[in-house]
Structure formats: structure tokens, C-alpha cells
Amino acid sequence: MWLIVVYIGYIIFQPLLIKYNHKLTNKKTIIISFFFFLCTYVQLIFCLHTTFDLIINAILFSCYAGTYWNLRHNLEFKTLNENRIGRKVGILIIITQIADITAGIISALILDNFSIIPLFIISTILMIISIIYIFLVKEKRRKKTKDNILKYFKTVPKTTLFHIFLKEASTVMSQLFSLYLFIYVSNTYSFAGLANFFLGLAGIIFTYFLSKKIDENREKYLLLSVVLICTIYLLKINITSELVLIIVFIEGFIKQFYKVVTSNNYYLLGHKLDKITYICGNELFVNISRIIIILIGFFLTGSLPKLMYFCIGLLILSGFVPFKTKK
């Protein structure tokens, strides 16, 4: 329920970003994001007692994360172009992965041994430091765009939209897997943090070597990456012991293979449209896709493990649907 409310928040948010994008700057956007970041976690720590409170928390989080991801994508498109995009995406993924594995293991240890309050304080300090760097980035004044989100759906090929819909099963899987580990394997934050560490470490190693070689013939890697990632997902949800850490380490290699292939496609397609139109249109579509996948999957299966099997089935199908960058 929390995830669905978050995704609905993103859907409501995107048209507003299109409408007022010309009035926003990176500096204004990051300040808005930081405000909702504080509201999200203060409410989580001190005011979350009922189901209604949980819904409020999801709305606050969607405002925080929605502004953050739009800013991040906007900055990425300024750096990434069609020239050696695979290598550049690989570097970006590695930097993100280093932050992920560090944050995952440290935050897990803090939560298991102390409380969420010191974690919130540390996160807030890091967030403030990141804001300083955003203020150092020079940017041009934005022009009011004449495009709208409908242009995204008119421009992107229908087979590509279907592929993106199926691919979002991977996002749902990833966002639910830590919960799966907590319920079915080990109910400590440290175990989930350790799994995230192995996942990220393998991903960094693999991305460093793979991203250099994937700038040519990207499409030929798609089916192979889908088959490998689905195989590892099947193994992962059928092992309910600490041996799952070995599978997670192997997953780190394969998941980054899949991520580099699909991220390349994402940024290549983005150069066909006005950037804010593409970013908002894509965010709108992927979040609609996630809601549909969760609702259909949950009502068809009725349990978390079966929902994950459903996602694997959709992901397998995505390997047979081509990702076209133009009609």
C-alpha cells in the first residue's frame, strides 16, 4: 500500500513539473526536495502510528523522491550524450553503487544497535553537503517548454512502451526484496545491509569491465541479460538460508550487466525529445506500470513470494520485446 501511494504521488507530481519547470532551477529543486526529505523522516520517527499516518508518509516521500529524481535525471542528460554512452553510464552506476553499499551496511548497523534518530542526523548532514555541490553547478535559465507529456507517448514506439512496462517488474522485485529477506531469511537490518554490500561490490567490479565494451550492438545483449537476471532471481527466492548471500554476490555481476544495457537505451531514447518532456513522461509511465504490476500481481498471487514469481515472468517476456529508439 505504501509503495502504491508513493507511485500515485509521482504520477500527480509529473504534470506539475512540466507546467512549472521554467520557473524552477536546480537550486530551487534541491531545496524543495530537502524540505520534503526532512518532513518525511521527522514524520516517520515521531508521528507514524496509524495506517493514515503511513499514507501521509508515502505522500511526503513521493514529493521528496519525485523532485530528487527529476533533478538527477536532468543533470545526467547534461553529461550523457550518444558518444560512448555505455562507458559514461557505467561510471555513473559505479559511483552510485559505491554510495549504496556504504550507506546500506552503515545504516543497517546503526539501526540494529542504536535507533533511527542518529541515522537521520547523519543522512541530513550528508544531504546538506550534497546541496552545496548543486549550488556550485552553473546552469542556464530554463525556457518555458511548449511540449507536454502526451508528446512522450506519441513519440516513443509502442513496442518500446510495452518493453518499459514489462521491465518495471525488475524495479518492483528490487524494492520488495529487502522485505523478503527480512521476513523469510533473517529479521535483522544488518543481514539486508550485508546482502546489499555483496550485491554492490560485484556490481562495481562487473560494471567497470563491461561498460567499456557495450557501446556497440547494445541490443544483442538485451535477451541474454534478461535470461541471466531472471535465473538469478529464481535462485534467490528459493533459498531461505544465509547461502542466499552467495547468490546475491553473483547477482551483483548479472544485475549490473542488465542495468547498463537498459540504461544505455534509456538515455539514447531521451535524446529524441525535449529533456523535461522525456523525463516527466517516462517517470509518469513507469510509475503507472509499477502500480499495475503490484495490483495485478498481488490479487493474482496473494503472497510476497508468488508476487515475485509474477514479476520474474514479466521480466522474461521483456527480453522478447524490442526496445526501439525511433519509429
**With 70 as the cut, is the pLDDT of residue 260 above it?**
no
Whole-number pLDDT of residue 211: 58
**With 70 as the cut, is the pLDDT of residue 86 above it?**
no
For residue 270, report the phi and psi dihedrals to the nearest 5 degrees.
-65, -20
Q: Which grid cell sits at 32?
A: 524543495
Terminal Cα distance for the chain, rounded: 37
**With 90 as the cut, is the pLDDT of residue 293 above it?**
yes
**With 70 as the cut, is the pLDDT of residue 101 above it?**
yes
**With 80 as the cut, is the pLDDT of residue 188 above it?**
no
For residue 214, report the phi and psi dihedrals to the nearest 5 degrees.
-110, 10
**With 60 as the cut, is the pLDDT of residue 83 above it?**
no
Q: Name the average pLDDT for the chain.
A: 80
Instruction: With cut-offs at 50, 70 and 90, classify the pLDDT of residue 100.
Output: confident
Instruction: With cut-offs at 50, 70 and 90, classify the pLDDT of residue 289.
Output: very high
Whole-number pLDDT of residue 106: 86
Question: Can you list the pairs that 27-34 forms with residues at least 24 positions away whose Cβ atoms lie under 8 Å?
Answer: 27/134, 27/135, 29/67, 29/70, 29/71, 30/67, 30/68, 30/71, 30/130, 30/131, 30/134, 31/131, 32/63, 32/67, 33/64, 33/67, 33/68, 33/71, 34/127, 34/128, 34/131
Q: Supply the DSSP symbol for 140.
A: P
Instruction: With cut-offs at 50, 70 and 90, classify the pLDDT of residue 295.
Output: very high
pLDDT tens for 36-54 read 999 999 999 999 999 999 9
Instruction: With cut-offs at 50, 70 and 90, classify the pLDDT of residue 23.
Output: confident
Half-sphere exposure of 58 toward its Cβ, with a 13 Å CA cutoff?
16
Q: Are 92 and 169 in contact (CB under 8 A)?
A: no
> The cell 528490487 sits on which residue?
174
Q: Which grid cell sits at 198?
A: 555483496
**With 90 as the cut, is the pLDDT of residue 157 above it?**
no
Whole-number pLDDT of residue 170: 85
Instruction: With cut-offs at 50, 70 and 90, classify the pLDDT of residue 215.
Output: low
DSSP string, 155-207: HS-HHHHHHHHHHHHHHHHHHHHHHHHHHHT--SHHHHHHHHHHHHHHHHHHH
Q: Which grid cell sits at 324?
A: 526501439
Rounded to whole angstroms, how far apart are CA atoms 166 and 153? 16
The fraction of the chain above a pLDDT of 70, given in percent, is 80
> Which helix or strand (DSSP H or E) is residue 93 part of?
helix 85-113
Q: Which grid cell sits at 62?
A: 513521493
Lowest mean pLDDT of 42-46, 207-211, 256-260, name the range.
207-211
**With 70 as the cut, is the pLDDT of residue 316 above it?**
yes
Average pLDDT over residues 160-178: 87
